[in-house]
Amino acid sequence: MAGWLVCALLVATAAEDRVSDAVQAAKDRRVVETLLRLKGIKLDSNPKWKAAVRRHLRRIEGSPKYFELVERFGLRDESPQLLQLANAAKTPDATVNAVRLLLEFEQQAAIRQAFKQYPAQAPGLISSLGLAGGAVVLELLQPLVTDGSQSLAVRSASARAVGRNLKGQQFLLELVRRKDLARDLHFTVADVLFASPAAAVRNEVARYLKLPAAKGKPLPPVSELVKRRGDKQLGAQIFQMRGTCAKCHKVRGAGKEVGPDLSEIGSKLSAQALYVSILDPSAGISHNYESYILVTAEGTVLTGVKVSDSATQITIKTAEAVQRTFKKEDLEEVIKQPTSLMPEDLQKNLSAKDLVDLVEYLKTLKKAPVGVPSARP
């Protein structure tokens, strides 16, 4: 057969497949719409209906309608998909919907499993649980706040999530009172409790914890800072000069690269996350930027971010942006640090207003919109 004919046939079959796909989709949608109109329908009683609903759900996965249908038909066996959506949905609404349904289907065990299986996503999942709220969430997350085997990122996200609930705030306050709160959670818990709507909680936490000071004055909680507007031009200057940020971060080619390039940080992090990154850098150490201490056989001690690590040698970059390579045989110890290389007290020499200006600037560092060609000189 002539090549073009085979081609034409293939195109025709593909087109037919597409048509039949579209027909099937329309049929499935009709079945779903009809089922929705019937009351007390048991989907399990009819495999054909169930198959139609399933196919329909796959086509609309993650949309508001998807969650509505899963809830309406009580489709507990959608839980694996819900868990995936909870970890990687496109919008915060979808994430919270996924989490809410997982809780409704009593999938706590699966959620706990996901924390272990996908540790990098765990803090995000935990924040969504906080937004979904409720007593079950407290049950699930309170133990994580005090579980020393969990990373700071997980414990800190759990404390924030628990602190969205007034009972959860009492739980945190009790840890503070009993002096059972780990030192590395002081910022998170102070930030949560100083923002409590309950004056009694605010007054009591003030007896034990302080928010970090900027130019000697305690800062307001992050939830307050995010409401303020700043001057992005002043913020850019602070980034370069007094803030010392450019010593460790590149923005559009300028600055040193010890920490992550921040050219698009405004697309990656919310204003709240930007403040937390500056005031409590160790709470959410970004992937690949864990810091290490190297001790050489001669007793030299160096701290830095790992640049590369092979069978025979290891390269780190210090806070001064100096790269050093060592043969593994010359090293006595390589210790991963729980703390960030980014200093904890950068706000010390800045005022609250400086900090607000700085974040205003960081918010403007966004990805170029797709499809818009960059301006020509």
Sites of contact with ligand HEC (CB under 6 A):
243-245, 247-249, 258-260, 265, 268, 274, 277-278, 281, 285-286, 289, 305, 319, 340-343, 346, 358
Nearer to ligand HEC, 46 or 244 (CB): 244
Distance, CA of 247 to CA of 266 (rounded, Å): 19
Residue least distant from ligand HEC (Cβ): 259
Select 57 or 265, whichever has its Cβ closest to ligand HEC. 265
Nearer to ligand HEC, 57 or 285 (CB): 285
Least distance to ligand HEC, CB of residue 100, Å: 27
Cβ closer to ligand HEC: 63 or 237? 237
What lies within 8 Å, CB to CB, of 290 at 6+ separation is 305, 306, 336, 337
In the complex, the smallest distance separating the C-beta of residue 374 from ligand HEC, rounded to whole angstroms, is: 23
168 versus 243: smaller Cβ distance to ligand HEC: 243
- Structure-block tokens of residue 314: 């290891």
For residues 101 and 274, which CB has a smaller minimum distance to ligand HEC in the complex? 274
Least distance in angstroms from the C-beta of 206 to ligand HEC: 26
Rounded distance between C-alpha atoms, residue 121 and residue 134, angstroms: 21
Least distance between ligand HEC and beta carbon 160 (Å)? 16
Task: Look up tokens 């190297």; give the residue.
Answer: 294
Residue 370 Cβ vs ligand HEC, minimum distance, rounded to whole Å = 20
Residue 281 and residue 297: Cα distance in Å, rounded? 31
The least CB distance from residue 318 to ligand HEC, in Å, is 9
CB-wise, 286 or 296, nearer to ligand HEC?
Answer: 286
User: In angstroms, what is the minimal distance from the CB of 328 to ligand HEC?
Assistant: 23
- Cβ proximity to ligand HEC: between 51 and 241 the closer is 241
The least distance separating ligand HEC from the CB of residue 350, rounded to whole angstroms, comes to 7
Q: State the helix-helix crossing angle for 79-88 and 92-104, rounded to 10 degrees.
A: 150
